[in-house]
Structure 1
């Protein structure tokens, strides 16, 4: 029971029906992602422990495997934006930045796999990624094949520098290209996140037929205010989202920022609790090398994780909201 302020909130649970037919992420994915902690930091001279390079991901994978996170269900190590070279090679294929990833992406994927974890990568449906690196538009099949050859287990496909009107065509196209590789690859879409102010255009039934999970709302940042803004938005559109939420197809309210110094322990507990009530993906963005014992315990709370990982995949919905000091009631 976590005391917050100004509300009494009770959640109920509701089931859904259909799912993306690739057999993956039958419970919400759990892992670690670099973005909200490290963003697009590429200066490895000034920030040797905090820049986007192979050492960062290898060190986070080490901590996930050896510090108990893997044991409670965390399994994906996610590269985010800014890992690439600024140009494709002569065959039109993506390549990693040679200075920051000297061994290449396949080496890093093997490193992660050898720890008993899974490997996730980032791209963008548009002409460029949000950080200005090569996007997948015009190269969807090539990129899908490249990711399969690198033994990628999970793709996050963003939507910067893309036409919103093309997304209903482009995101399903990448799904087909990923499936055609023959490698099981979880597919995370940012499709509805680019329609935040146009909810009448968001067809979650269609999206759920092509994506294993999808971002709905603004990027989270390392603040309690950001968490509250996501909660408020999810409560507003919960009925529409809950209707398609369940095994193999998940609404994604963005990363778990528990473990960062910007959150108190109570705030970290609240985020873990609410995300688990939603059966949301539990993808941490923090520095696993530098987490307080209290917040590590919060992130590894087996009882809370069990709620998130319930195989029925129910989406907890807000059913009471009144203006008094409040608590989450289960």
Structure 2
């Protein structure tokens, strides 16, 4: 595509789509399961029938999301990633699923999920090819959007491999427009910032919020704790431009949750999950839920953490202090509450302690007193003044999170626990 053509089209789209993405979707960060980190591009179903990218995997994961309590905890999306397609479009130029791995077709898979009150996410790429060499969407934007809508797709992750920066300026706004014009509500997840500079001036977050419901900001996460910390630190280092960009309907995305795979200890998985909640991040599990250990289920279904993540105010948290291995974060919540997180990257062998005051959090219009509640310990609840010292015990490479409410009225934080205990007793 000629550069002059790109510039003309981009200018037209910028004038036309100013409020195009006000689609009413993703008012809180989306939650679900995503295949990529755990299963990558495994297409060899003959050798690996239980772990290849095919309809069997997604149907089985949907079954476990229901039976294992994931859906009830809020995880509703079941998302495909690269490599689901046939290697070429059909004779009419239409995209379709690999018939050997998806013999029933995507519409049947979507119907299967919808019958369980789950939603289907799919993957495409603006370019001639996807990142793994499957057919791209360039030149087929309208047709692919209409196809996804006809299948009953609920979310689209849109990559930009094999396309230039100038082509992305056309492709992402255009795909947003085509999805909206299908009339079907489809959450639009963009990879544009991760591929093309991460932050301003290369990335325009005002435009991003107008065309995308969420966007990947930074590098792909791997199954290791170092990547978790690297991503958290990058978000902190760039928080002044990232925080204003996020809110109901448009979210920064630090990538998948990897707890329950191979690398993270329970404390490390808890740290990632807690910090993704503080970042108001989409929560996309990428582990084998059919075989995940119980301690990770407990971490990733923690209703108190999910409440923080899903807070309707939709404000992303901020790092307010670092001290040695410790980081102190605060996230404003609905009703003038605050979520407060202290985590440590220490590799020492014992619990360490960190102290802070409410006055030191930089809260806008702080109250004179707060009731604070340690979400891991229902008995650690107390009222503190602005300058009272609060000392936190933190495991090595672990996290401790508080909720703080202005005044002395207790935070109603027992609802989920009581409900779960009653259910357990009845069973």
TM range (shorter): over 0.9
Deviation at 1:324, TM superposition (A): 4.4
Partner of 2:306: 305
Corresponding residue SS for 2:277: helix
Distance in 2, matches of 1:125 and 1:23, equals 24
In structure 1, how many angstroms separate the alpha carbons of the residues matched to 2:39 and 2:292?
15
The 1:324/1:63 distance shift into structure 2, 3 A limit, reads closer
* TM-score normalised by structure 1 residue count: 0.92
Cα pair 1:19 1:246 within 8 Å, conserved: no
In the other structure, the counterpart of 1:161 is: 162
- Residues 19 and 208 of structure 1 are in contact (CA less than 8 Å); yes or no, is this contact kept in structure 2? no
Contact 2:129 2:135 in 1 (8 A): yes
> SS of the counterpart of 2:318?
strand
Alignment of 1:273-312 (within 5 A): 273-312=274-313
Contact 1:128-1:161 at 8 Å conserved across structures:
yes
CA offset at residue 164 of structure 1? 1.2
Aligned partner of 1:100 in structure 2 is 101
Q: Distance in 1 between matches of 2:44 and 2:125?
A: 22
Query: CA RMSD, aligned part only?
Result: 1.4
The one-character-per-residue Cα deviations of 1:57-99 (angstroms, maximum 9, x if unpaired) are 0000100011100001000000111010111111111011010
Q: 2:57 aligns to what SS in structure 1?
A: helix
Contact 1:58 1:108 in 2 (8 A): yes
- Matches of 1:281 and 1:165, distance apart in 2: 28
Cα distance in 2 between the residues matched to 1:254 and 1:201: 20
Partner of 2:422: none
Calculate the TM-score normalised by the size of structure 2: 0.72
1: CA distance, partners of 2:258 / 2:170 = 33
Greater CA drift, 245-254 or 224-233: 224-233
SS of alignment partner, residue 211 of structure 2: coil
1:196 shift after superposition: 3.3
Q: How does 1:209-288 map to 2 (within 5 A)?
A: 209-288=210-289
1: CA distance, partners of 2:212 / 2:322: 32
Instruction: Name the residue aligned to 2:377.
Output: none
What is the number of residues matched between the two proteins?
313
Give the alignment of 1:52-71 within 5 angstroms: 52-71=53-72
Query: What residue number does 2:202 align with?
Result: 201
Change (3 A) 1:66 1:197: closer
CA deviations 1:173-196 (Å, max 9, x no partner) are: 111100111000000000111123
Larger radius of gyration: 2
More contact order relative to length (CA 8 Å, sep ≥ 6): 1
Question: Alpha-carbon deviation of 1:48?
Answer: 1.4
Aligned residue in 2 for 1:142:
143
Q: What residue number does 2:183 align with?
A: 182
